[in-house]
A and B are shown apart, each in its own frame.
Chain A
Amino acid sequence: MSMHGEVDILLVEDNPDDLELTLHALRREHLANNIFTVRDGEEAVEFLFCNGRFAGRSFDHPPRLVLLDLKLPKLTGLEVLKLIKNDPRTKAVPVVVLTASREERDLVASYNLGANSYIQKPVDFDQFREIVKSTGLYWIVINQHPLANPLSMAATPR
C-alpha cells in the first residue's frame, strides 16, 4: 500500500508480536482496507504532520483512526499524543491509546492530553484479539470520523 495513499488506520506499535496480533485481528474483521504501520514515535509524527519521509501526504486525508502504543522508541506515545492534540491541523484525528501499561498516571495523562480513548492490552491472546476487534468495530463502524463521507455510509441503491 502506498505511503501516500488513503489510510484507514495508522498503527503505531514497535512490539512485533503485538503488531502481528493487532493486524491479524483487524484484518479478520475486514475493518480496514488500508492499515499503515509505523514503528516509532518519530515516524508517527512525520506521518501525521506530512513531513520527512511522508512529505507527500496531505493534511486533508488523515487516517480515520490512530492506534497508539505508549512505549515507543525515539518519541514516547504521550509525546506523540501531545503533539497531535495540540495542533489544529491534526487535533481532530481520533487517537486511541492501546497500551500494556497498567499505570494510572498513564491513563490520566492520556485523557488529559486529549486521547479519544484508552485501551489496556490484555495478556491473554484471545482477549487481546477480542478487544482489538471491538475497538476497531466501534471506531470504524459506529463512530463518525471528522471527514465522514455521506455517500459511503448509505450505499443502498435507490
Chain B
Amino acid sequence: MSSAHRILLVDDNPADANLTCEVLATSERPAQVSTVPDGEQALQFLHRFGQFSEASRPDLVILDLNLPRKDGRAVLAEVKADPELNDLPVVIFTTSHAPRDIARCYELGANSYVSKPGNLGQFFSAVRSIENFWFGYASLPD
C-alpha cells in the first residue's frame, strides 16, 4: 500500500463530513480524504469520470445512506455488482439504526455498518474506530 491511505467519504451533510474529516485528520496514519456530497458523484469518482478523471482508487469508502440524486443503497448495490469495484471495502456510516436498513445493506454486500451516534464524543469515537480497524488491523486490497 502507498504512503497515505485514501478514503472516499460520501456524505451530503457538510457538518457531518466536516466532523468526520477532522477526526480522520488527527489519526496517526496520514489519510487523503476525498468528500463527495451525493451518490452520483460517488460513482463518478469511483469510475474516474468527468471531473474525477485524475482520482485514485480509494482504499476505503465511508458511505452515508440518505443521499441526494442517487442514494447510498443504490451506490452500494452498483459498487458490489461491479467486478472492478466489488472488492472495495465499503463501510456504511449513517444516522439510521433501523434494522430494516441494516439488513438491506448487508444483503447488498456492505462490508460493515456503523450508526452515527447522536453524541459528539461517541461520534468521534466511532470514526476513530473505523479508521483504526480498517487501516490499523485489517488488510486491504491494493
Contact = CB atoms under 8 A, between A and B. Distances in A.
B115 A144 contact: yes
Interface in B51-103: 86-87, 89, 97, 99, 102-103
A142 interface: yes
Contacts, number: 74
Chain A: interface size category: 20 to 34
Contacts of A119: 137-139
A37 B111 CA distance: 23
A54 interface: no
A119 B138 CA distance: 5
B108 to A, nearest CB: 9
Interface in A116-158: 116-120, 131, 134-135, 137-139, 142-148, 150, 153
B126 interface: yes
Interface string B111-142: 11111000000000010011011101111111
Interface of A: 88, 91-92, 94, 104, 107-108, 111-112, 114, 116-120, 131, 134-135, 137-139, 142-148, 150, 153
Interface of B: 86-87, 89, 97, 99, 102-103, 106-107, 109, 111-115, 126, 129-130, 132-134, 136-142
